[in-house]
Amino acid sequence: MTDDLYDVRVLALDVPRRYVRLRAIVVYYDTDVPYADLPNDPSFFLRLLTDTAQQGTQMGDLVTWDEIHDEDWVDANTRWFVERVERVATRNHPFTDDDYEQLPEFSGRTRKGRLLREDRFMSADYDVVVTDPRWIEHLQPGAYWSTASYPTRADQIRPGKGADVPGLRTTSAVLALFEDGEDHRLAFSDDGRYLAACSEEGELVVVDATDWHELLRVHPEGYSSPMLMWVPGRHVITLRDYLKDALAQLSYDVVSGTRVQAPTQVGVVRSATGRHRVDLDYGTFITVHDDVGAERTLPVGDPESEGGVDTRRSVAFTADERLMFAARGATIFALDPSDGRTVATIDNDGLEVEALGVSSCGDYLAILSEHWERAVSIRRVGDHQVVTRRGIGPRPGRTEPLDLQWSPDSRWLAINLLTTDDEDQYRPEIHIIPIGLPTDPPARYGLPPTRP
């Protein structure tokens, strides 16, 4: 039928008010399942704005061909151009096989290139508000064109709030601490000063998070299924083997590099002060201990539904210890750890959660999702909106995420990755992602500082 994906029409335009109403008509249906869908992501509309922007227009001169064809660039920078998008009308959606059978008879075009019997096609109207009148001054009411533009996943950061969001497209450091073994644990010290990692063979390494140099490396015998935990408030890391005696513990002062005695660290995940601790579990209930020895078994979701909570990866506490997030399947539950009450449920768009972290302020979740292209996403707790996302697929020459940890000082997100090559040889790495996205637009766009 066509190599283009959509036809686009300008229905209304008010340049001073930074407003344009667009109609997007799906014209590409040569796919099996599903048919090309109606776009909603702001990234699609940034691409549309550059479709007809010639040199000599603001959009044509500012945004280069290389930039608009770079998905990472578009997703990172859409927010400087598109303020908001609202779908205001929808036609022939959802699209059915019967609808598709009607298309060949009506799929021709007029001499001006417009669709005949446009009413048979799937389409939607959108109100788009841009950040500056210059971005739409090249458009005209009634303008009509075909486009191969498509939606990706634009960052959707609230004005002035980027400082708390990890920059998933930036890597500050890559730590290759182990030669092999794909499953290793990560744990930041309570002040975020140190990062401890342990391989599945029990080798323990601690690095200084100021410059990522190695402070400590030990490989005790008999710790083949290790659990890592810092002693609350101290630079002492503990190592236990959960397949053996869970109370048998090795403790190391990471500053002096020496073995020390330390209180036994119960559980596999703890809150900031150790007031709440979660046992090693995988099921529909999790066991929580408090600092006076009381034990509670808390339900997570419907006990009759499938799947369980991997407490090693999918439980995280807010810094104030008032909330505990636990992921089960494709749902994240916000629980009150003191009584097990479910405060909120967050749907992860149907994607199973493999690992979970929470910012120290409690406003954002870092989520590793099971998907054909494994993805790390940052989701806002307040409205459940994904604010930034990066897919990292397990393909040759790429990396596959396995686990993640958000540092308590909100400076870093550490992601445990498995790097593969063309021969499917792999090497474990830890990628250090900085926290903080720009809060103001680049100076070259000539935009004022972001309004709070």
User: DSSP letters along 389-409, please?
Assistant: EEE----TTSEEEEEEEE-TT
Average pLDDT in the 432-438 region?
94
Say if residue 245's pLDDT is above 70.
Answer: no
Please indicate, yes or no, whether residues 135 and 226 belong to a single structural domain of this protein: no
Are 309 and 295 a contacting pair, CB within 8 Å?
no
Instruction: Name the residue range of residue 196's domain.
Output: 162-434
Residue 439 located in a structural domain: no
The last residue of one of the domains, among 154, 171, 191, is 154
Residue 442 located in a structural domain: no
Residue identified by tokens 């450091």 is 173
Say if residue 283's pLDDT is above 90.
Answer: no
Give the C-alpha separation, 244 to 225, whole Å.
8
Q: What is the CATH number of the domain that holds 166?
A: 2.130.10.10
Say if residue 155's pLDDT is above 60.
Answer: yes
The last residue of one of the domains, among 106, 124, 154, is 154
Say if residue 136's pLDDT is above 80.
Answer: yes
Please indicate, yes or no, whether residues 46 and 166 belong to a single structural domain of this protein: no
Residue 1 located in a structural domain: no
Helix (H, G, I), strand (E, B) or coil at 268: coil
Domains of the chain: total:
2
Query: What does each C-alpha distance from 194 to 85, 100, 209, 283, 371 come to in angstroms?
Result: 42, 58, 5, 31, 31
Convert the pLDDT of each residue in 286-297 to its tens digit.
Answer: 888 887 778 888
Please indicate, yes or no, whether residues 207 and 139 belong to a single structural domain of this protein: no
Q: What is the CA 425 to chain-centroid distance, rounded?
A: 26
Please indicate, yes or no, whether residues 134 and 170 belong to a single structural domain of this protein: no
The per-residue pLDDT for 130 is 97
Convert the pLDDT of each residue in 333-361 to its tens digit.
Answer: 999 998 889 999 999 988 899 999 999 88
Please indicate, yes or no, whether residues 394 and 273 belong to a single structural domain of this protein: yes
Please indicate, yes or no, whether residues 254 and 394 belong to a single structural domain of this protein: yes
Residue identified by tokens 């969001």 is 165
Please indicate, yes or no, whether residues 231 and 123 belong to a single structural domain of this protein: no
Q: Which residue has the higher pLDDT, 348 or 370?
A: 348
Please indicate, yes or no, whether residues 250 and 322 belong to a single structural domain of this protein: yes
Residue 447 located in a structural domain: no
Convert the pLDDT of each residue in 299-346 to its tens digit.
Answer: 888 877 777 888 888 999 999 999 999 999 999 999 999 888 999 999
- Rounded to 5 degrees, what are φ and ψ at 24? -110, 125
Say if residue 84's pLDDT is above 90.
Answer: yes
Range from 110-124, 243-257, 398-412 carrying the lowest mean pLDDT: 110-124
Convert the pLDDT of each residue in 1-25 to its tens digit.
Answer: 457 889 999 999 999 999 999 999 9
The per-residue pLDDT for 397 is 56
105 confidence band (pLDDT: 50, 70, 90): low
Residue 449 located in a structural domain: no
The last residue of one of the domains, among 118, 134, 154, is 154
Residue 60 located in a structural domain: yes
Q: Which two tokens stand for residue 89?
A: 């009308």
The per-residue pLDDT for 33 is 44
Q: Which residue has the higher pLDDT, 391 or 106?
A: 391
The per-residue pLDDT for 186 is 92
Query: What does each C-alpha distance from 176 to 182, 199, 213, 252 come to in angstroms?
Result: 12, 11, 12, 22
Please indicate, yes or no, whether residues 209 and 73 belong to a single structural domain of this protein: no
Give the C-alpha separation, 45 to 25, whole Å.
13
CA angle 46, 373, 35 (to 5 degrees): 60
Residue 174 located in a structural domain: yes
Identify the bridge partners of residue 261 per DSSP, sorted by sequence position: none
Q: Which residues contact 395 (CB under 8 A, 6 or more apart)?
A: 420
Q: Which residues contact 222 (CB under 8 A, 6 or more apart)?
A: 202, 241, 244
Average pLDDT in the 228-235 region?
95
Average pLDDT in the 184-189 region?
91
The model carries a pTM of: 0.88
Give the C-alpha separation, 296 to 290, whole Å.
9
Convert the pLDDT of each residue in 219-229 to its tens digit.
Answer: 988 777 788 99
The per-residue pLDDT for 101 is 67
Please indicate, yes or no, whether residues 295 and 365 belong to a single structural domain of this protein: yes
Are 431 and 449 a contacting pair, CB within 8 Å?
no
Give the C-alpha separation, 61 to 63, whole Å.
6
Give the C-alpha separation, 366 to 403, whole Å.
10
The per-residue pLDDT for 113 is 65
The per-residue pLDDT for 306 is 75
Please indicate, yes or no, whether residues 84 and 231 belong to a single structural domain of this protein: no
Please indicate, yes or no, whether residues 96 and 195 belong to a single structural domain of this protein: no
- Neighbour count for residue 9 (Cβ, 10 Å): 19
Residue 448 located in a structural domain: no
Give the C-alpha separation, 20 to 15, whole Å.
8
